[in-house]
Amino acid sequence: MSFASLGLSAPILEAVAKQGYDTPSPIQAQAIPAVIEGKDVMAAAQTGTGKTAGFTLPVLERLSKGQRVKPNQVRALILTPTRELAAQVAESVALYGKNLPLSSAVVFGGVKINPQMMRLRKGADVLVATPGRLLDLYNQNVVKFSQLEVLVLDEADRMLDMGFIRDIRKILAVLPKQRQNLLFSATFSDEIRQLAKGLVNNPVEISVSPRNATAPTVKQWICPVDKNKKPNLLTKLLKENNWGQVLVFTKTKHGANRLATHLESRGIKSAAIHGNKSQGARTKALANFKSGDIQVLVATDIAARGLDIDQLPQVVNFELPHVAEDYVHRIGRTGRAGCEGQAVSLVCADEFKDLAAIERLIKQVLPRELVDGFQPVNKLPESRLDTRPIKPNKPKKPKVDHRDGQRSGENAKGHKPQGKNRRHTGSQNKPAGQSGDGAKPAQRRSRPQTNG
């Protein structure tokens, strides 16, 4: 099967081919024709399956045959949970739509709103936005939706987890009733299906991967080690294995900073990204990582959500996540598009409960490899696979509405707000079409894996 067989026009096919893609992924093969036909779609796919291109390509195809956008109007709205994901999606829109007479824009919080207001005066065929900043712009009468044709909710499950449900409902209330709706999520949880009841009409349901599955192309293993020896063990692994590009996950922002500083002191070029970093620093760190100027990128789960790094060979869990599903999201950033990847977790005795929960979720006991000189004094108990069904937890109600991918109670610089009505904001990345990441031209790959 080729992209040409899916109903895409020549300008889009040319842009796809220039990125080195020739064969659609399963979700693209199912979603693209359905979206072009004007049907509502509910699609579930794990990260790395190419779901961003699965909606970006057909939305551009539909818009290319419609009327021109008017000032302050939007024809297609793509909502994302975080700033990083918004920037990645906007970049995909710009890349695939560069041969079309269509305009695009991206808006999210944490920076001055005036430049965004000026940009939206011209209107945008495609607007990528986070919910908080979009509501700010709407309330100032900067963006209007009478021309809206398509609504996309990307990573809907994450938006619900992060407390955006009230913002989403406010946005839905001001959109035209007659529109096409596309909902993309990692899973079809009960909460997602409840949201879908008031959103999609007779949707085409697409599911291309089992829930919480890990890619078979990813080699997973763990290194038992004492907590205080983890930084030196990671240094040893990096140097002895000559790992060239490594994404490392920590649980906290301060932990990410400490680890990046430690690695730098050992001659390993590293940078940390998290919510306390300015958007400029985060953009620069990601660009340097993609270009190879930085060997190790240390990230927290929230900051890393939506990072799109093609053919990332190595992911390290410096600390295991408390939420087992986050393990699947973390290691899903390697082993994409059939490429081989490796995910190693440095696990201390205190993390055994987290390890057991992960192994229960993925239905396998992870192999262990001891490293000479780092055998733990505090032994990590042996794993025994728990095969009992996992009961879904009810989502916690957030204390405060999160804005643009930030946690409750923090502003753009990570400080607690002093006033009751301070609004949480994120940070701004480059506008669509200006990735500025310094990445080398993509090698020929089998299919788009943009940010999925």
d(CA 149, CA 389): 42
Residue ranges of alpha helices (H) inside 182-318 are: 190-197, 230-241, 253-265, 279-291, 301-304
Length of the chain: 452
Quick one: pLDDT at residue 80? Answer: 93
Query: Helix crossing, 83-96 with 10-18: angle to 10°?
Result: 120
218-362 in CATH: which number? 3.40.50.300
At residue 34, the 3 state secondary structure works out as helix
Taking only the tens place, the pLDDT of each residue in 1-28 is: 788 899 899 999 999 998 878 888 888 9
C-alpha distances in Å from residue 365, one per residue of 39, 221, 345, 358: 42, 9, 13, 9
User: What pLDDT band is residue 83 in, cutting at 50, 70 and 90?
Assistant: confident
Quick one: pLDDT at residue 327? Answer: 86
Quick one: pLDDT at residue 328? Answer: 82
Angle at 299 between CA 376 and CA 307, to 5 degrees: 135
Choose from 40-44, 185-189, 405-409 the range with maximum mean pLDDT: 40-44
Q: What is the pTM of this model?
A: 0.60
User: What pLDDT band is residue 323 in, cutting at 50, 70 and 90?
Assistant: confident
> Higher-confidence residue: 447 or 98?
98
Taking only the tens place, the pLDDT of each residue in 282-299 is: 778 888 988 889 999 999
In the block, tokens 């100027």 appear at: 293
Asked if pLDDT for residue 338 goes beyond 90, the answer is no
User: What pLDDT band is residue 182 in, cutting at 50, 70 and 90?
Assistant: very high
Assess whether the region 3-207 and the region 218-362 belong to the same CATH fold. Answer: yes
Average pLDDT over residues 178-183: 95
Taking only the tens place, the pLDDT of each residue in 298-315 is: 998 766 665 666 668 899
Quick one: pLDDT at residue 274? Answer: 83
User: What pLDDT band is residue 318 in, cutting at 50, 70 and 90?
Assistant: very high
Q: What is the number of other CB atoms lying within 10 angstroms of the CB of residue 252? A: 11
Query: 23-32, 58-67, 194-203: which range is least confident on average?
Result: 194-203
Q: What is the residue type of 329?
A: H
> Higher-confidence residue: 373 or 190?
373
> Higher-confidence residue: 211 or 428?
211
**What does the domain layout of the chain look like in residue ranges?**
3-207, 218-362
3-207 homologous superfamily: P-loop containing nucleotide triphosphate hydrolases (3.40.50.300)
Which of 287, 285, 301, 288 has the alpha carbon at shortest distance from 333?
A: 301
> Higher-confidence residue: 223 or 273?
223
Asked if pLDDT for residue 121 goes beyond 60, the answer is yes
